[in-house]
Amino acid sequence: MSLPVEVPGLDTILPEIGDGTIVIVEGGADLAKSFFVRRLCRTALHAGRPVAFVTSRDGRELTQMLARENGETSSGVGRIQIVERDSVDSLSEYVPEGGLLAVDSFSFLTLGLAPTDLARMLRELHRVSRQTQATALLATDQGMLDPRGEAVVTHLAEGHIEFHAQEGTEGLVRFLRIPKWADGRFVDRNIYYDFDGRRIAIDLRSRVL
């Protein structure tokens, strides 16, 4: 199985995320990155797949956000295993067999790790994910990893999605880029989108930033 990317417009470019893969979802202060990760958690949950979410934030707040975005009570997302941590040096123990592991913020949780330890963690996560046919989404904060750590993460992940937001002549402009993907292709252009806190709307028209 694979995890569908149920974001209209984006699913024409990336229809799914393969099992056994690690995908980095990077973003700045804009909240779209974390929303995207939560959206894929709900997709996995609705498909009957187990979900584990390792978070550096308050677990109750995360539960409420998942429920609100899904239009249900907090008990409706009770099947998601939410783990609050201040730091991690291993993630393999949280990988749900045949399911989805989400980590936000991976860059914050691994701040104290040397690049060699970061590489060891990701190689072990990759091994376990393939063995259990699970998918791992690691949300990172733009600029938080040092250059060597960023190089390690980008090199060892199969996929990399970047969420950007910056001021343009018409106000705030949001776009994403996909510099790396598991099948060897990548989308070397800006994919514009709107985000209102409840949904991501992809704009596939060509524009110049």
Strand partners, 203: 192
Strand ranges inside the chain, DSSP E: 2-4, 16-18, 22-27, 51-55, 81-84, 100-104, 135-141, 159-168, 171-180, 187-195, 200-203
pLDDT at residue 171, as a whole number? 77
Task: Quote the pLDDT of residue 36.
Answer: 95
Mean pLDDT of 97-121: 95
Average the pLDDT over each of 84-98, 152-166, 179-193 and give the range with the smallest value: 179-193
Q: Are 71 and 77 in contact (CB under 8 A)?
A: no
Beta-carbon count within 10 A of 138 CB: 26
Average pLDDT of the chain to the nearest whole number: 88
Q: Is the pLDDT of residue 204 over 80?
A: no
Tell me which residue of 18, 43, 57 sits closest to 139, measured CA to CA.
Answer: 57
pLDDT at 176: 92
Residue 189 binned pLDDT confidence (cut-offs 50, 70, 90): confident
Helices within the chain (DSSP H only): 32-46, 59-70, 106-109, 115-132, 147-156
Q: What pLDDT does residue 78 have? A: 60
What's the topology of domain 2-203?
Answer: Rossmann fold (3.40.50)
Query: What is the reported pTM?
Result: 0.90
Q: Which pLDDT belongs to residue 111?
A: 93
Judged against a pLDDT cut of 60, whether residue 74 lies above it is answered with: no
Across the range 18-28, mean pLDDT stands at 93
Q: Token pair 């514009």 is at which residue? A: 192
Task: Please state whether beta strands 135-141 and 100-104 pair in parallel, antiparallel, or not at all (unpaired).
Answer: parallel
Q: What is d(CA 81, CA 49) in angstroms, rounded to the nearest whole number?
A: 12
